[in-house]
Structure 1
Amino acid sequence: MKRFAAAALAVVVAGTLVGAATPAPPVADDPADGVRAAEYWLDQYGIREAWNTTRGAGTRIAIIDTGIASGPVEFAGAVAGGTDVSGVGTPDGRTPVGGTDRAHGSWVASLAGARGTGDGRGMIGVAPEAELLSVSVGFGGTSSVSFIQQIADAIHWSVDNGADVINLSFTTNTLDWDETWDEAFQYAFENDVVVIVAAGNRGSGTNRVGAPATIPGVLTVGGVDPSGVASQEASTQGITIGVSAPSERLLGVSPSGQLVWWDGTSGAAPLVAGIAALIRSAHPELDADNVINRLIKTASPVPGIAELPDPLYGYGLVNASAAVNAQVATVDESPLGLTLEEWIRLYRRADAAPAPEITPAPVEVPPLPDAEERTAEASPFVPTGDTLLYGTVPLVAGTLAAIMISLGFTAAVRRIRSARASRGPSRTII
């Protein structure tokens, strides 16, 4: 089941209803403005300092969510295109879909690339000069198209329409993912797109990161409170977390134009997606692996954390200024370790070569000799030559010899008796 990596709406910010005028691209920044002052992450995470180098011009961030509303002035001129993959939105992806979560996509987009209300005032995103792509997705039962298929379609459309960064602020609460996503995410990686994913929130029932945050190659973002401590409710933990960013006391522009406070790694992810756009704008020569490498190598270390990546903070707290401006050695492979292509080969065996067919050479077998002509079997009661030679003949010979001996003995006895009778009785002399 899908869960947004965001908590529910908390409170409406007073005095922030927007007008209908279309402002010029943001070139000013008024930290004294109440809304800008509430965006504590602009200073704490080096975003304002990074703006001295770039504001994300020339890059595109795809927001795959419930859709970026077309009404709020903060989005005027920011959305370069969009689509609907749910079947219940509008073709441009600018009509939020869903029930209570329909504002989610606008909140996420405002953190990544809102352009303020003019004169350096109003909510501004991390990359206010980047272009946004609005891809509306129907979560839960709001669409007849399966959620799995919607995300695969959304990723394909985003890549094909020039996305440099894709933001996914949701979780499935399961470690594994459908095989359909193998091809979709690999398509993004092969086309040099940075994919940023929210880790999920304990407060929403996520005790550990789930897909898509478990997919090799994505950069998973954990959440911290305003003081930089891992959030108890608005974040989770897992070995795939790459960096952490604010996930509490966040601002978001609603489809109605009102600003709201909200919590969740759904907000931490687009903050990092905006920084990724700043890197791609300042360093267009870098591929996706090196963009991610800059994000994790320049992250601010968390006191007391020695072994990296940490299951709560990843490699540390994201630092926009360092990520854009620091000297970082380039890499030739993913800094996150195992790639999706390798994972598929090891666990799906999708690209394993088919077993070769065994075709042994024919063996010539010599013909069998002709069978002997079969004779009728003799009766067991009729003697054969062997029985006559070794049985009957010896037996007869032995019997005859015994008879002859017996007759000779009898004749001898008779002769002795006859001789005694002819001599008469015997006499004794005294």
Structure 2
Amino acid sequence: MKRWTTAVAAVVVAASVLVVAQPAAADEIRDRQYWLSEYGITGAWQATRGAGVTIAVIDTGIDGSHQDLRGAVVGGTDVSGIGSPNGQTPVGDDSRHGTLVASVLAGRGHGDGAGVIGVAPAASLLAVSVGFGVGTRTSDEQIADAVRWSVDNGADVINMSLTRNTLDWPQSWDDAFLYAMENDVVVVAAAGNRGSGTAVVGAPATMPGVLTVAGVDRSAQASDDASSQGITISVSAPSEALVGAGTGDTYFEWAGTSGAAPLVAGLVALVRSAHPELDANNVINRVIRTATPVAGAVPSPLYGYGLIDARAAVFDEVALVEANPMGDLREWIRLNRRAEAAPEPSEPLPSPSASAEPAPAPPPAAPSNPLGGALPTVESLRDVGIPLLVVGGFGSLLVLALVLAGRQLRRLRRES
């Protein structure tokens, strides 16, 4: 097998490490989706499969003609300027990436239990194609527009299997992500992967209010290569030994938080479908509060609140909250974005009626000395008089000491 890393854009990269194998046979795929049973997904299907929920996949585009995705993509757009208007023409070097993500999220499978079935197989998808490092505009601009378009076109959930590889983000993202959150949309983002060079979590996974997903291996331990760590991690999901649908009815084994994120976005869809009365804040809260904690502090920089439990997230009783447990983006903006410094005041311009600038006033005359110099001025006292007084004082003391010493000497001679 050959290891292949996604193309790195100037500011945004797709957050996955792909292990490209020979395409697997469709009838083998379902048996390899271990997360469906081990993370409570099949249990959650007793209540819902995500019907009525729309998920935007902001990625390289989705091949909606794949046999496992037919009927899943209900709309889309291209913000790169080089894709197709419906977002279903994959763009960039990693053209399979968006289709892999979409299949794990909402694949339908085909035939009698063949192919990839997603976490929320009854949910609807919006395909938003982005060019990572390519296109007519910067990746930052594309992402901001993609988020806004998703909100305006009915997304309940946004999946972002990408990272900027920096802790910070452009101010254009402030407005776009705040727009999503204030319109009750849950934003799910991948933490990124150490194997791809992402040592710590990068934006958008660092943004307050975002549901950030770390990855674990087959034994539910934090993945060495296919995950990053950071204090903004919300929950963890499988990121190794994944299988997904590629372009052209192919299948691949892959790894990375690019795969972990859509598992959680699918879980969010299940919760939103089962609990339509809940706002985004309470949907996020339900996902993190029902996660299975991993030994150590909770939340932790490796696992967040723990491993997702889809059945518990759908069925358990969870107390309601008023605020997003992952933070308040608006408050962060208020505290951290500073207004641009006001320009220095310029010299006042002459009145419009004035024909010329007024002449400057003459400097004030130096104060006169009425005694004609008989008394020292303040300046002369400071520069000359004070030093002379000091020297004179020491001189007087020296003379007095010599006189006293002479008298004492004469007295001693007389006595002798």
If the TM-score is normalised by the length of the shorter chain, which range does it land in?
0.7 to 0.9
Counterpart residue type for residue 122 of structure 2: E
Question: Is the CA contact (8 Å cut-off) linking 2:64 and 2:72 kept in structure 1?
Answer: no
* Structure whose residues are more often strand by fraction: 2
Runs of 4+ more than 4 Å apart: none
* SS of corresponding position for 2:270: helix
Question: Which of 222, 228, 231 is the matching residue for 1:239?
Answer: 231
Find the aligned partners of 2:108 and 2:279 in 1 and give their Cα distance: 26
* 1:291 matched residue in structure 2: 283
Question: Which of 149, 169, 176 is the matching residue for 2:141?
Answer: 149
* SS of corresponding position for 2:17: coil
* 2:323 matched residue in structure 1: 333
* SS of corresponding position for 2:115: coil
Question: Is the CA contact (8 Å cut-off) linking 1:67 and 1:94 kept in structure 2?
Answer: yes
Query: 1:342-361 counterparts in 2 under 5 A?
Result: 342-349=331-338
1:301 deviation in Å? 1.5
Find the aligned partners of 1:202 and 1:326 in 2 and give their Cα distance: 34
Find the aligned partners of 2:339 and 2:270 in 1 and give their Cα distance: 36
Q: 1:218 to 1:350 in 2, by over 3 A?
A: farther
TM-score computed with the length of structure 2 as normaliser: 0.78
Find the aligned partners of 1:89 and 1:4 in 2 and give their Cα distance: 17
Question: Is the CA contact (8 Å cut-off) linking 2:23 and 2:250 kept in structure 1?
Answer: yes
1:268 matched to 2:278: no
Query: 1:121-136 counterparts in 2 under 5 A?
Result: 121-136=114-129
TM-score computed with the length of structure 1 as normaliser: 0.75
1:173 deviation in Å? 1.0
Counterpart residue type for residue 299 of structure 1: A
Find the aligned partners of 2:24 and 2:235 in 1 and give their Cα distance: 32
Query: What do the CA deviations read for 1:137-168 (whole angstroms, capped 9, x no partner)?
Result: 0011x212111110011011100111000000
* SS of corresponding position for 2:114: coil
1:71 matched to 2:65: yes
Find the aligned partners of 1:281 and 1:15 in 2 and give their Cα distance: 32
Query: What do the CA deviations read for 1:219-267 (whole angstroms, capped 9, x no partner)?
Result: 1000000110000000010000000000001111111211100010000
Question: Which of 289, 298, 305 is the matching residue for 1:308?
Answer: 298
* SS of corresponding position for 1:186: helix
Question: Which of 174, 177, 202 is the matching residue for 1:182?
Answer: 174
Find the aligned partners of 2:221 and 2:204 in 1 and give their Cα distance: 24
Find the aligned partners of 1:332 and 1:324 in 2 and give their Cα distance: 19
Find the aligned partners of 1:291 and 1:187 in 2 and give their Cα distance: 18
1:251 matched to 2:243: yes
Find the aligned partners of 2:262 and 2:292 in 1 and give their Cα distance: 18
1:71 deviation in Å? 2.4
1:4 deviation in Å? 1.6
Q: How many residues align?
A: 332
Question: Is the CA contact (8 Å cut-off) linking 1:344 and 1:350 kept in structure 2?
Answer: no
Could you tell me the percent identity over the aligned residues? 61
1:11 matched to 2:21: yes
